[in-house]
Amino acid sequence: MFLGRTLRGEWYGIIVDPLRQLRRRGLPALSLAFLAAFGVIFFHAVAQRPTGATAVRLLGGVYADLPLWLALLRTPVSLYVPALDLPVWAGITQLFLAFALAELALGRARTLLISYVTTLAGTLMVRVMIAIGPGWHGIGLPPEVGKVLDTGPSAAVVGLFTYISVVRRAPIVFTMTGGSMVWESIAIPNLAGREHLIAVAAAIVLALFHERSRRRRGGRPSSVPASRSVVLRPSSPRGPEPAGAAHRARPASRSAPPPTLPPAG
């Protein structure tokens, strides 16, 4: 029963609700997903020639030994530059699906923010690992890693799937994304696996921060003390009867008979 409720909740949160948004908003709601997919296809086609490969490397090639300002400048373009060791067309399918679900479920601005922050987190943490150096409980990296090309939208894809699964409370999708990244980093210990783990961690932090801020915004009305009451303006010139007036003794009417005195003696 628990598994059935979980599957049903994830089906409605991950599939049904985005499809309803797509039906209501139309294909323009997927503009960011189409742009990301076409960007990867464009840079892949340009890089097939030597001159184009040089231009793509100068525009979006990120290395850990680059100056920090130049790496930050190239990081947005590096999202659309395909990785050398991954199949392009399979990656485009995952990229389009991740950006489409995120754009429909989260909105365009938050999708861009999460994809960029998760990619940037992986790029910066590689520099930290190289600064630590090898031999520090397996966390550090040798200086030769600084010359490895670090491009591709895989960190953004992993971060978007992780963020959606945490916000929509989808443990199965989270296990499929985060768990697969952990298995990848253990089976194939390379630079991409480490960056994927960092992207998962960054997406979890962003999702928890968003949930905390949402709960704070939703909890403001209940924080008003219960002793305070809403004062309404009277609809008539006399206004409402003041509190406690019903318990006060009303004056005797003029037509009431005078009280009788007891007889003398």
Distance CA 157, CA 84 (A): 17
**Going by C-beta distance under 8 Å and a sequence separation of 6 or more, which residues neighbour residue 195?**
122, 123, 125, 126, 150, 154, 155
pTM of structure = 0.75
Q: Residue 245's pLDDT is what?
A: 46
- The answer to whether the beta carbons of residues 102 and 163 sit under 8 Å apart is yes
- The answer to whether the beta carbons of residues 72 and 116 sit under 8 Å apart is no
Distances (CA, A) of 178 to 23, 167, 187: 30, 14, 14
Q: What is the 3-state secondary structure (H, E, C) of 8-58?
A: HHHHHHHHHHHHHHHHHHCHHHHHHHHHHHHHHHHHHHHCCCHHHHHHHHH
Q: Residue 233's pLDDT is what?
A: 45
Q: Residue 35's pLDDT is what?
A: 92
Distance CA 262, CA 254 (A): 22
Q: Residue 118's pLDDT is what?
A: 93
Query: What is the CA 14 to chain-centroid distance, rounded?
Result: 14
Domain-wise residue ranges, the chain: 2-214
Distance CA 49, CA 11 (A): 44
- The answer to whether the beta carbons of residues 20 and 12 sit under 8 Å apart is no
CA angle 161, 180, 105 (to 5 degrees): 10
> For 82-115, how does the pLDDT look when each residue is reduced to its tens digit (9 = 90+)?
876 666 676 788 889 999 999 998 888 999 999 9
Cβ neighbour number for residue 180 with a 10 Å cutoff: 14
Type of residue at 6: T
**CB-based burial label for 134 (10 Å; 0-12, 13-18, 19+):** middle
Distance CA 80, CA 38 (A): 9
Q: Residue 85's pLDDT is what?
A: 62
Q: Residue 258's pLDDT is what?
A: 54
Where the chain has pLDDT below 50, the residues are: 219-255, 265
Q: Residue 111's pLDDT is what?
A: 93
- The answer to whether the beta carbons of residues 132 and 140 sit under 8 Å apart is yes
In CATH terms, the fold of domain 2-214 is: Rhomboid-like fold (1.20.1540)
Q: Residue 8's pLDDT is what?
A: 81
H-type helices in 85-237, by residue range? 88-105, 108-132, 154-167, 171-174, 180-187, 191-219
Q: Residue 235's pLDDT is what?
A: 44
